[in-house]
Structure 1
Amino acid sequence: MSLRFPSTPDFLGPLYAPSRFEGGVHDLEVTGSIPPALKGRFVQVAPDPIYPPMLGDDIFFNGDGAVTAFRFADGHVDLQRRYVETDRLKAQRAARRSLHGLYRNPYTNDPAVEGLSTGTANTNVVPFNGMLLALKEDSLPVAVDPETLATIGSWDFGGQIRNTPFTAHPKFDPGNGNLLAFGYEAGGLASRDLVYYEFTADGHKIREIWVTAPYAGMVHDFAVTERFVVFPVLPATADLERIRAGGLHFEWQPDLAFQFGVMRRDGDGSDIRWFTGPNCFQAHVLNAFEEGERLHLDMPSADGNVFAFFPEAGGGAPAPETLRFELARWTLDLRSNARDAIHATLMDAPCEFPRCDDRVAGRPYRHGFMLGLDMREYAIDRLGPPAWQFFNLLLHVDVSTGAVQRWVAGDAECFQEPTFVPRAVDAAEGDGYILVLVNHLETSTTELVILESLAIAEGPVARVALPMRLRMSLHGNWLPDTDDDRAVAPNHSA
């Protein structure tokens, strides 16, 4: 029986060819010096399909979740990588083939997996209450042992929540370590229901609030401030009739307004207010904070559909070069009866995968770290057009002054998501290190680089070479060697 992946963009090249690697490597090669403050683990997760797609092709977001952990101790770095043993993955391994069809469409799956969770645990991995939670927004978390990366199993917080979708972008309150989360399509496939959860640092549910969105749109990330929750609803909508007919889960609606739902964290949801923005694409939150009765929400933004694999009804999607990208600030004025979100541009340039210092998540802040794109720095003459989700700049943005620092790894290199690590628990905001994976396109290799966070233009202080290529990943976090939950808890705002 032939086992070959398709020759399509989501399965080709140094970024998207499946890695399919599990194992460990002790003492990775290090150039430079690992900062002594780095004691802990950098964990991240990638969609990395085990088997070729059942229908002959698939999208990047539908791969099986593989967690990679880099262990830092005494200047040494070890690597471990292991797949999350989801119900979906176990069924595929038993059958020795893919059993799943279109992304988030159970009606296109093999009948053998009917009733099984289709979650892939491939989007984010966060520490919580002595575990890692591997996350995909259409299903419950999957608990993973942080030492061995062995899968514990689907996690419903000890029976405290139902079998609802659970965000891949939970937040942690830096004041008390509480885990804040939500799920969309929470009442069933293509429903308009949103559910908000809050758990104490030791796992006890203290809040569950249900609200209804204006339409069944994607809500990939959300924002939390000291008093409020904000749900940004993307005009990529789900339709149950279309899904049952074997169509795509999401379809872009070019005439639909973006929505921001605001409610109090300590309420019952009856106070939720919906603010309207223009039709635009926004997936990830850099940070949000209160200024009196005004909320400021900072997000990378594009003026049209970035996800061409979720096109309009007629199949159309704009070419990326025709879109305008920026870092936007949306202000939601709770004192006003107006329903319009007020827009301002913080940085007029392409950017994505934003991160702040988690210790000021939901509070006024200054420093943002993210990826960007500058085609002038890319060797298109040698390499041809870049792949989708290609970012060749590492950026530090001072949102107070507008100043931007950048670092380019080379003209044949690109980055995966950056992660910020504070120099110490009591270090000033933004003072620490950036950990970021670099893909070398001409050699099909990957390395982990470490930079001073406030001096990224000076380049890495250390480089960690990997003896294998890692497929493009999505999100990750830092777990310091500490017993202070508030120090380890990330507000993954990207």
Structure 2
Amino acid sequence: MVHFPDTVSFTGFNTPSRIEADIYDLDVEGEVPKEMHGAFYRVQPDPQFPPLLGDDIAFNGDGMITQFRFEDGKISFRQRWAKTDKWKLENKAEKALFGAYRNPLFDDPSVKGQIRGTANTNAWIYGGKLYALKEDSPALVMDPVTLETVGYTKFDGMTGQTFTAHPKIDPNTGNMAAFGYASKGILTLDMTYYEIGPDGKLLYEVWFENPYYAMMHDFAITDDYALFHVVPSTSNWERLEKGMPHFGFDTTMPVYFGVLPRRKGATKDDVRWFKTDNCFASHVMNAYQEGDRIHFDTPQAKNNMFPFFPDVHGAPFNPMEASSYLTRWTVNMASNSEAFESQTKLTDMFGEFPRIDDRFTGKKYRHGWMLVVDMERPCELKGGSAGGFLMNTLGKVDHETGEEQKWWCGPVSTLQEPCFVPRSKDAPEGDGWIVMVCNRLEEHRSDLLVFDALDIAKGPIATAKIPVRLRFGLHGNWANAGDIGMAA
């Protein structure tokens, strides 16, 4: 008999749903632009079985991929498991076999040495394929139309064990830039940078080492460089042997910023490391070069944002110091110093999950969107957001004019990550739409919202009502119909 624990990760809006479904032509309020022809993909951690050890963090749930298909003003819904090796082994056993998040020491002996990935962090489209990604394992390939699982890939040559959940596509070359950390196995310092062609084959890889082991969740590229921020969400074997959460935040350690030239033949000796004081930063909005200077835009907080990865020295979680603000890190490649040139706060909006018009990846850009925590707004129910934060507002920043926009979703709802959809492949920057999931907490169901990307303040132009509850999701992306074999 299945029974999930009565804990925060498994109750309320985050009760496991475990639903595979197809719904044709969702009920829509407003008007869906007919130019939107393609699909929006997103993923949620959704455990197939109760945790082996009695409880676990929500980030360890099995990946469930959602596809919203847009065609002729209609939106249809499809949802399927990302059937990883872990999912298949546990499905056959009809119970959990793998232990806590990123800790193989307490797994069932029958699965020792198996890939532990859950494919639950990003639904990524590249080269006509759908990739379900989790940074502690290889990329899982799925069919972008049917959502059937194909299996793990090493891109015909990748030698590292892991692949990031946040690849980037270079708008100049069309190549996919990516990396892996703990590339030689759990807790190792090894990093691998990859460039992959549109045919899905590895072009080259570069191996190097981090200054210390850390959660390397995101990164950035520019025309010439790959950029890595090393923030001390760290771990060691002692933590794992004691059954502690894999990561803990160390406020005594500095932050490093690595700059790797993007070229075949680069080596570990080509990485240049800059250094700054302790802070927390996870996701990246964008980065670009300006002469010898590199600008790197990231939501930065004074202290750890993840209460489920506690302070290694025992300090209690500090929600005020966990407030993150979009900040521009600038380093000067012409300097002889390891110090940052500047760290400049770009907005007073407390926000995370930043997104851009991805056609401007690595370029100087104007428009950015993110989830905002507006603590001045009333809140009647909590939950349904990553990390427990009250992500109740969609925010937009114009880096050229400084103009900001916000749209609040109401007192009994929260929002999931936005995604930009260009009006056409050659439309001006920001000309298009934002799509995102809204959690209707009281009704225990979800909506898909569509906004005019440059005028979010007026609210959604279309709302698709989803008659099921989508658990908190992490990341998602859009694909045009013709790029994924979905053209009419």
Alignment TM-score > 0.5, same fold: yes
Amino acid at match of 2:21: G
Q: Deviations over 1:456-482 (max 9, x none)?
A: 001111110001111110000001123
Is 1:64 aligned to residue 62 of structure 2?
A: yes
Contact 1:447 1:466 in 2 (8 A): yes
> Measured at CA, do residues 153 and 323 of structure 1 come closer, stay the same or move farther in structure 2, by a change above 3 Å?
closer
Q: Equivalent residues in 2 for 1:97-112 (5 A)?
A: 97-112=95-110
Deviation at 1:156, TM superposition (A): 1.0
- 2:114 matched to which residue of 1? 116
* Worse-superposed segment, 304-313 or 254-263: 304-313
Is 1:210 aligned to residue 178 of structure 2?
A: no
Deviation at 1:483, TM superposition (A): 4.4
Give the distance between the partners of 1:405 and 1:384, measured in 2 at CA. Answer: 24
Tell me: higher relative CO, structure 1 or 2? Use CA pairs within 8 A at least 6 residues apart: 1
Contact 1:435 1:451 in 2 (8 A): yes
- 1:132 matched to which residue of 2? 130
- 2:290 matched to which residue of 1? 291
3-state SS of 1:180 partner? strand
Is 1:251 aligned to residue 248 of structure 2?
A: yes
Deviation at 1:322, TM superposition (A): 4.2
- 2:142 matched to which residue of 1? 144
> Measured at CA, do residues 351 and 384 of structure 1 come closer, stay the same or move farther in structure 2, by a change above 3 Å?
closer
Match of 2:218 among 221, 240, 246: 221
TM normalised by structure 1 equals 0.94
- 1:177 matched to which residue of 2? 174
Q: Deviations over 1:109-134 (max 9, x none)?
A: 11121111000000001112221111
Give the distance between the partners of 2:97 and 2:106, measured in 1 at CA. Answer: 9
Match of 1:77 among 75, 78, 86: 75
Give the distance between the partners of 1:127 and 1:96, measured in 2 at CA. Answer: 31
Q: Deviations over 1:28-65 (max 9, x none)?
A: 10111110110000001110111111111110110000
Q: Equivalent residues in 2 for 1:375-394 (5 A)?
A: 375-379=375-379, 382-383=380-381, 388-394=388-394
- 2:401 matched to which residue of 1? 401
Structure 1 residues without counterparts, runs of 5 or longer: 489-494
Q: Equivalent residues in 2 for 1:227-246 (5 A)?
A: 227-246=224-243
- 1:492 matched to which residue of 2? none
Give the distance between the partners of 1:8 and 1:431, measured in 2 at CA. Answer: 43
3-state SS of 2:275 partner? strand
3-state SS of 2:270 partner? coil
Contact 1:305 1:317 in 2 (8 A): no
* Worse-superposed segment, 396-405 or 133-142: 396-405
Q: Deviations over 1:321-374 (max 9, x none)?
A: 343421100001111111122200001231011001111110000000111011
Amino acid at match of 1:71: R
Give the distance between the partners of 1:78 and 1:469, measured in 2 at CA. Answer: 15
> Measured at CA, do residues 95 and 443 of structure 1 come closer, stay the same or move farther in structure 2, by a change above 3 Å?
same
Contact 1:295 1:332 in 2 (8 A): yes
Contact 1:325 1:348 in 2 (8 A): no
3-state SS of 1:383 partner? coil
Q: Equivalent residues in 2 for 1:290-369 (5 A)?
A: 290-341=289-340, 342-369=342-369
Q: Deviations over 1:196-217 (max 9, x none)?
A: 0001111232221011111111
Structure 2 residues without counterparts, runs of 5 or longer: none
Number of residues of Structure 1 aligned to a counterpart in Structure 2: 481
3-state SS of 1:298 partner? strand
Give the distance between the partners of 1:32 and 1:129, measured in 2 at CA. Answer: 33
Amino acid at match of 2:120: N
Give the distance between the partners of 1:184 and 1:481, measured in 2 at CA. Answer: 33
Give the distance between the partners of 2:416 and 2:382, measured in 1 at CA. Answer: 20
Q: Deviations over 1:285-312 (max 9, x none)?
A: 0000000011000001111011121112
Amino acid at match of 1:337: N
Match of 1:44 among 42, 45, 48: 42
- Percent identity over the alignment is 44
3-state SS of 1:320 partner? coil
Contact 1:373 1:390 in 2 (8 A): yes
3-state SS of 1:147 partner? coil
> Measured at CA, do residues 166 and 317 of structure 1 come closer, stay the same or move farther in structure 2, by a change above 3 Å?
farther
3-state SS of 2:16 partner? coil
Amino acid at match of 2:96: S
Deviation at 1:177, TM superposition (A): 1.2
Give the distance between the partners of 1:139 and 1:385, measured in 2 at CA. Answer: 28
Contact 2:302 2:321 in 1 (8 A): no
Give the distance between the partners of 2:276 and 2:348, measured in 1 at CA. Answer: 18
Contact 1:356 1:367 in 2 (8 A): yes
- 1:460 matched to which residue of 2? 460
Deviation at 1:190, TM superposition (A): 0.8
Is 1:273 aligned to residue 269 of structure 2?
A: no
Give the distance between the partners of 1:460 and 1:343, measured in 2 at CA. Answer: 34
Contact 1:189 1:240 in 2 (8 A): no
Is 1:413 aligned to residue 421 of structure 2?
A: no
3-state SS of 2:376 partner? helix
Contact 1:42 1:70 in 2 (8 A): yes
Contact 1:396 1:406 in 2 (8 A): yes
TM normalised by structure 2 equals 0.95
Is 1:161 aligned to residue 158 of structure 2?
A: yes
RMSD: 1.7
